[in-house]
Homo-oligomer: A and B are copies of this chain.
Amino acid sequence: MSLKVVIIGGGSSYTPEIIEGLIKRYETFPVSDVVLVDVDAGKEKLEIIGGLADRMIEKSGKPIRLSWTLDRKKALEGADFVSTQIRVGGLEAREKDERIPLRHGYVGQETNGAGGIFKAFRTIPVLLDIAKDVHDICPHAWIINFTNPAGIITEAVLKHSPHQKVIGVCNIPFNMRHSTAEILHVAPADVKIEFVGMNHFVFGKKVYVKGVDRTREVLHKLADEKLDYSPANIVSLGWSKTFIESIGLLPNPYHQYYFQTKKVLEKDVQAFQDNGTRAEVVQELEKSLFALYSNPDLAEKPKQLEERGGAFYSDVACSLMDSIYNDREDVQTVNTLNHGAIPDLPDDCVIEVNSVITKHGPRPIASGRLPRVICGIVSHMKAFEELVVQAGVTGDYSDAYAAMVMNPLVADEADSKVLLDELLEAHREFLPQFTSENLKRGVQS
């Protein structure tokens, strides 16, 4: 019996992790075929990754057939799972998402603020295309999306594609569980966190260790010992006792952008002056990673990959595929339709939520009304995300401006226009929905 996984964005530096994950889970998730897919521009990388993956599989002794191709439609034939881990426009585009806002005194970040909006604008049309192909070619396949901004992208597909079998994943909840385990000196598997919110804006509401509520202790330690759990790719400033104890919730590292904006900006501006944008840092990192990957003696995921920031992303994806395949009914944290799980948010929006994973998809666990203290900001962020999805689909200038000006990290009437116009211009080739007509209308107004 065949079990086929297609990895779109197969030339990504993360791919060795997903290959490792598939090998590791072979007993319960006996994948027979893996196809790596990428676009023309990524051909070279794809081949390097293909070679490494081949060596990894061979070394493992598992009977997995591997291939790589630029022909996405062909690759999708008979697929059971399709993972999407793409970067439209590559690191060059990311570099612009970071640099342009920073230049105007705004957070320049891959998934937040003006940069995050444009990453979404570039990615939405491509993911909708992929979802359409999947729907036509392998309608039973699940798309596991870990392309950022993962929540927004997943919502765009769920709202605008006929293909409804899509789940978004992120490593932040995974990291928060692991860091909490470290803080408490317990095994990660014993830690459960009740998450509320959205991707990159998720809070931990309760921490249970073997079923016992230890939330207060974690909050206390987070505050007191200035512990934090930021991934490699973003700043790490720690949280004050006052903040932690007043909100009574575990923030995630991305919350620094919203509640420590000035300090983050300072640090990012400094880092930018020292090393260029994070994109440029990553470009260097990638270069050295691919140099490693090219080594014909390497047959495993190199340690250095963990510095990349997205560590465990693929591991999370593999766990999810395994649970779907085996109809496990275990609880994982994914991006899926709300359906009332957070009654304060629209039923049809995507949230990041603990869900029971079954063969027919994730079932979100209801957590009741949002904690009062975050109800406003979470509603705000969700509504903002909905504006991004809308603009990402219509390509309408006013919609895009609305998203920009309603983002709490931008908010300024005049600068919203400046950022919008500059980014539209900079990313023009990757924004087919923003037709020249729309652009012209926008620029003139």
Measured CA separation A432–B94 after assembly (Å): 52
Task: Check: A406 CB closer than 8 A to any chain B CB.
Answer: yes
Q: A365-B364, A380-B379, A414-B240 given as contacts; is B359 within 8 A of A372 (CB)?
A: no
Q: Which chain B residues border A247 with CB–CB below 8 Å?
A: 402, 405
Q: Quick one: which of B208, B245, B339, B417 contacts A368, CB cutoff 8 A?
A: B339
Q: Which of A183-230 contact B (CB under 8 A)?
A: 192, 194, 206, 208, 210-213
11 contacts between A and B (CB under 8 A): A208-B358, A259-B412, A260-B413, A340-B343, A340-B369, A356-B356, A356-B365, A365-B365, A373-B406, A379-B383, A408-B408
Find the B residue at minimum CB distance from A379.
Answer: B379
Q: Does A342 contact B (CB under 8 A)?
A: yes
Q: Which of A353-396 contact B (CB under 8 A)?
A: 354, 356, 358-360, 363-369, 372-377, 379-384, 386-387, 390
Interface assignment of A47: CB less than 8 Å from any CB of chain B: no
Number of this chain's copies in the assembly equals 4
A398 closest partner in B (C-beta): B246
- A230-269 interface bits toward B, Cβ cutoff 8 Å, 1 = contact, 0 = none: 0000000001111101111000000000111111000000
Rounded to whole angstroms, the CA-CA distance of A384 and B210 in the bound complex is 35
CB distance from A133 to the nearest CB of B (A): 24
Which chain B positions have C-beta within 8 A of A263? 414
Q: Is there an interface contact between B242 and A417, defined as CB atoms closer than 8 Å?
A: yes
CA distance A323 to B212 in the complex (A): 14
The CA of A357 and the CA of B293, in the complex, are separated in Å by 44
How far apart are the CA atoms of A95 and B241 in the complex, in Å? 30
Residues from 323 to 362 in A contacting B, C-beta threshold 8 Å: 327, 329-331, 337-343, 347, 354, 356, 358-360
Chain B residues with CB under 8 Å of A374's CB are 406
